[in-house]
Chains A and B, each alone.
Chain A
Amino acid sequence: MTELLVSPPFILALNFFAFLLGLAIYRRSGTPLLHPIVGASAFTALALWLLHIPYGDYQRASGLLYALLGPAVVALAVPLRQNLPIIRRAAWPLLVTLVVSAALAPVAGVLIALLLGAAKPILLALSGKAVTTPIALGLAEKVGAAASLTVGIVVFSGVVGAVLGPPLLSRLGIRDQRVLGFALGINAHAIGTARALEISALCGAFAALSMGLCGALTAFALPFFLGR
């Protein structure tokens, strides 16, 4: 019985069902607060707990999904290629903002945690907070951060940025959709890009562009800064 519960076919079916459930909850609610990963991970964790499946066994049986993360990162080149022409319209403002923000976003998070006396594993995991999840997972492995903590931080940051970012800017009278999209892509990654696409195609294109470029830039810069 236990052998069946930790076999890859059973675990993959569990993952797939949890994903569909999370997707259905998200579609019905329509708020980024309930991003599919929120419902899916809560359901899976509950199932593991009820069935007494150790997390390590579950992880091992989910190998196929981990193996697909690499190709998914490579696939990010496609939306990046499609949105790259945007950059020609305002190359300097976009590139300067990209470099400054790619550095600023993790530094702001790490500094706040440092001031509040957080432990080193938390600081390491926070360094990847402005990077889309599949890239952040690859980076976590390179810089020695805990994968689960990294995913949690990236998803939570994404939800915060996607839910609170747009009303924050409109309260301040910033209505330029290029600006909103760019800020969403860097600070709220994939969840922010999904939100940006709901606002307008222009907003979504800027978000997809800044998310891809910020992820690539951080992946190149961070390992050097952390001396690995």
Chain B
Amino acid sequence: MGLPNVTFKRALSWLAGAFTLLAFEGLGVALGRWLELPVPGAVLGMVLLLLALLVYGSVPTGLAAVSGLLLRSLALLFLPAAVGVYFLRGFATSDWLALLAATTVGTLLSFLLTALLLQRLLRRESPGEDSD
């Protein structure tokens, strides 16, 4: 008797979580259109949801569950766009080489600079207290 009730409640909280995500996406898209912002509507929705969660004080269970599921299957969601890489045409070899250099050297360079900057700033903030 008790079991279906628990399942029903869980299903309801998942539905509420899914509805929250869709509602905030819709809200973000509408806000972006209204203010004529060039920012993607879903990102506005994410900021609005973050603000709402800060005001609410915690993350509802259903919302956490649905969000976790979506974020764990991200690779499935952007798979169709990723497959397009194999069908790109019209770039010269020099373009591909530039791309390779920019993504490898560029990423390592900015990785290094991010780390050096943050380390220096953290040291200055709390001298004596090293890594924890």
Contacts and interface: CB of A to CB of B under 8 A. Distances in A.
A104 B99 contact: no
Max chain A Cβ within 10 angstroms of own Cβ: one of B49, B81, B121: B81
A155 B82 contact: yes
A151 to B, nearest CB: 5
A117 B47 contact: no
Interface string B98-132: 11011111111111111111110110111000111
Nearest to B124: A93
B121 A92 contact: yes
Contacts of A72: 70-71, 74, 77
Given A65-B76, A77-B53, A186-B114, A216 B47 contact: yes
B37 to A, nearest CB: 8
B80 A15 contact: yes
Contacts of A96: 117, 121
B16 interface: no
A168 interface: yes
Max chain B Cβ within 10 angstroms of own Cβ: one of A104, A118, A160: A118
B110 A19 contact: no
A97 B103 contact: no
A163 B124 CA distance: 29
A140 B109 CA distance: 23
A58 B70 contact: no
Contacts of A73: 25, 40, 42-43, 45-46
Max chain B Cβ within 10 angstroms of own Cβ: one of A45, A79, A108, A130: A108
B103 A156 contact: yes
Nearest to A76: B46
A45 B113 contact: no
A102 to B, nearest CB: 10
Top-8 shortest CB links A-B: A148-B84, A138-B40, A223-B38, A93-B121, A109-B106, A176-B131, A118-B98, A75-B67
Given A45-B83, A75-B46, A133-B74, 8 more contacts: A16-B76, A58-B80, A65-B78, A79-B67, A96-B121, A100-B117, A116-B102, A178-B132
Interface of B: 18, 21-22, 24-25, 28-29, 38-43, 45-47, 49-50, 53-54, 59, 63-64, 66-68, 70-71, 73-88, 91-92, 94-95, 97-99, 101-119, 121-122, 124-126, 130-132
Interface of A: 15-16, 18-19, 22-23, 35-37, 40-42, 44-45, 48, 55, 58-59, 62, 65-66, 68-82, 84, 90, 92-94, 96-97, 100-101, 104-105, 108-113, 116-119, 121-122, 126, 129-130, 133-135, 137-139, 141-142, 146-153, 155-157, 160-161, 164-165, 168-169, 172, 174-180, 182-184, 186-188, 190, 202, 215-216, 219-220, 223-224, 228
